[in-house]
């Protein structure tokens, strides 16, 4: 009598096979990305200008980013991880090509190799051991295993010093006017801060807030209070575009950051407008929401013209770059003095892509402007305000 096959087992086998195929395709993509980077490096070697040659080589990541619709930084990390594993871990790379290890696990392994820099014996041992461990354990289990391996094989604290040099703070904007504030700091400092937040939060009165909410409020109050004490004469600039009807309370359209990375609900925008020290720039637009042109004398734009360009561009004008326009250079599309210092001739370029344009490596590609057509109510109110000012 023939054995009855479990339909669920067949589906699981199909899923497993597809996962292996996915990992193989990821490995092929990684190999081709390295081939492309190597090709661009060889082509750049013929450039006698060393600065331009380095820029041409680094632009390979931008080209790949445009093709893959990924940020340049993400592509740079993928290239570095793949090159590190292919060059230092022969057996791990073969497991990647065979579909036994996927891209995410490769990134974890590459990070461990980086912390073992200079210790060839430890890297060889890692290569042999991880190829049997990684394919049959979860990514979380692999991460823990790699941490233990690095701790045992890097007793000279070099890895800790390397990681400490990477310390930083960054934002991850979410919905409804909320964001995550991440900090990569030494563990000892993190433990002390965590304990202080909890200790202070527990002293606050019972008012319906959870302990986590109180901890967050203590963190904001402590940090903002300290910053204001240290720099009472200067304030950080938060660039948002706000419909005039929202400020007037006629509509509830949200405010949007210049670079489009976050939005603020209408109530939050109105609360912000009432806070002391808040400054609004009024920028005139046409009926399609496009910023009207401004021409100035001299090479460098004024602060107000820079603000208008920041609002218009949002981010660096290179197609995959997400660097905020507020942090960019203001580049003359037609070089000064032949080209005027005017909104139509200025564009935001981050320093890296500005240098590439200067050395002829690339030109910014088509950029989708963030202009929008105003609502009827907004247009009518803005026209009314403008007419009052002009009449005065």
Q: What are the tens digits of pLDDT across the range 87-99?
A: 999 999 999 999 9
b/e sequence 160-189, b meaning 16+ C-beta within 10 Å: eeebeeeeeeeeeeeeebeeeeeeeeeeee
Nearest to 281 by CA among 267, 271, 291, 295: 291
The Cα–Cα gap between 233 and 250 comes to 34
pLDDT of residue 165: 80
Under a CB-based contact definition with an 8 Å cutoff, are residues 367 and 313 in contact?
yes
The Cα–Cα gap between 38 and 275 comes to 54
pLDDT of residue 262: 76
Nearest to 60 by CA among 43, 78, 36, 44: 36
Q: What is the per-residue pLDDT across 289-339, written as a single tens digit (0 to 9) for each?
A: 555 555 666 677 877 788 878 877 888 888 888 888 888 888 888 887 788
- What six digits make up the tokens of 381? 């109110």
Spell out the domain ranges in the chain.
7-157, 168-230, 295-358
The Cα–Cα gap between 345 and 291 comes to 13
Give the residue carrying structure tokens 């979410």.
174
121 membership: H or E segment, kind and range: helix 120-133
Nearest to 349 by CA among 365, 372, 370: 365
pLDDT of residue 233: 47
Q: What is the per-residue pLDDT across 99-128, written as a single tens digit (0 to 9) for each?
A: 999 999 999 999 999 888 767 899 999 999
pLDDT of residue 392: 42
381-384, long-range: CB < 8 A, 24+ apart = 381/244, 381/245, 381/248, 381/250, 382/244, 382/285
pLDDT of residue 289: 53
Q: Which residues contact 81 (CB under 8 A, 6 or more apart)?
A: 106, 107, 110, 111
The stretch 5-29 carries a mean pLDDT of 94
Burial class (CB in 10 A: 0-12, 13-18, 19+), 325: buried
Under a CB-based contact definition with an 8 Å cutoff, are residues 309 and 348 in contact?
yes
48-52, 73-77, 221-225, 269-273 — which one is most confidently predicted on average?
73-77
Separation in Å, CA 45 to CA 48, 57, 63, 79, 370: 8, 9, 18, 19, 39
- The CA-CA-CA angle for residues 185, 190, 196, to 5°, reads 145
Under DSSP, the state recorded for 136 is G
């Amino acid at each position: 009598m023939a054995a009855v096959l479990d339909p669920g087992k067949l589906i699981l086998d199909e899923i497993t096979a597809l996962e292996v195929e996915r990992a193989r395709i990821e490995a092929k993509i990684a190999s081709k990305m390295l081939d492309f980077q190597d090709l661009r490096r060889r082509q750049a070697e013929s450039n006698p200008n060393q600065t331009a040659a380095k820029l041409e080589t680094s632009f390979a990541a931008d080209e790949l980013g445009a093709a893959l619709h990924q940020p340049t930084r993400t592509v740079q990390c993928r290239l570095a991880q793949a090159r590190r594993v292919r060059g230092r871990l022969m057996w791990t790379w073969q497991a990647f090509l065979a579909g036994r290890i996927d891209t995410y696990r490769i990134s974890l392994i590459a990070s461990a190799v980086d912390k073992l820099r200079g210790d060839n014996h430890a890297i060889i041992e890692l290569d042999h051991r991880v190829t049997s461990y990684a394919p049959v354990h979860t990514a979380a289990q692999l991460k823990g295993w790699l941490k233990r391996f690095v701790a045992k094989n890097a007793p000279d604290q070099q890895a800790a010093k390397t990681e400490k040099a990477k310390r930083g703070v960054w934002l991850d904007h979410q919905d409804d006017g909320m964001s995550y504030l991440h900090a990569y700091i030494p563990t000892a400092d993190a433990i002390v801060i965590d304990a202080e937040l909890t200790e202070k939060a527990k002293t606050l009165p019972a008012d319906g807030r959870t302990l986590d909410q109180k901890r967050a409020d203590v963190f904001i109050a402590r940090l903002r209070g300290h910053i204001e004490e240290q720099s009472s004469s200067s304030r950080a600039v938060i660039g948002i575009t706000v419909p005039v009807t929202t400020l007037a309370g006629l509509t509830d359209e949200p405010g949007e950051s210049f670079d489009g990375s976050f939005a603020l609900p209408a109530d939050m925008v109105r609360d912000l407008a009432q806070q002391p020290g808040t400054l609004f720039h009024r920028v005139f637009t046409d009926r399609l929401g496009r910023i009207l042109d401004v021409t100035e004398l001299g090479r460098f734009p004024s602060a107000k013209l820079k603000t208008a360009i920041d609002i218009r561009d949002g981010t660096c004008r290179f197609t995959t770059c997400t660097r905020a326009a507020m942090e960019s250079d203001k580049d003359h599309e037609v070089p000064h003095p032949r080209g005027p210092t005017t909104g139509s001739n200025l564009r935001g370029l981050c320093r890296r892509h500005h240098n590439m344009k200067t050395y002829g490596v690339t030109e910014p590609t088509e950029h989708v402007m963030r202009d929008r057509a105003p609502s009827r109510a907004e247009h009518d109110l803005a026209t009314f305000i403008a007419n009052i000012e002009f009449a005065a």
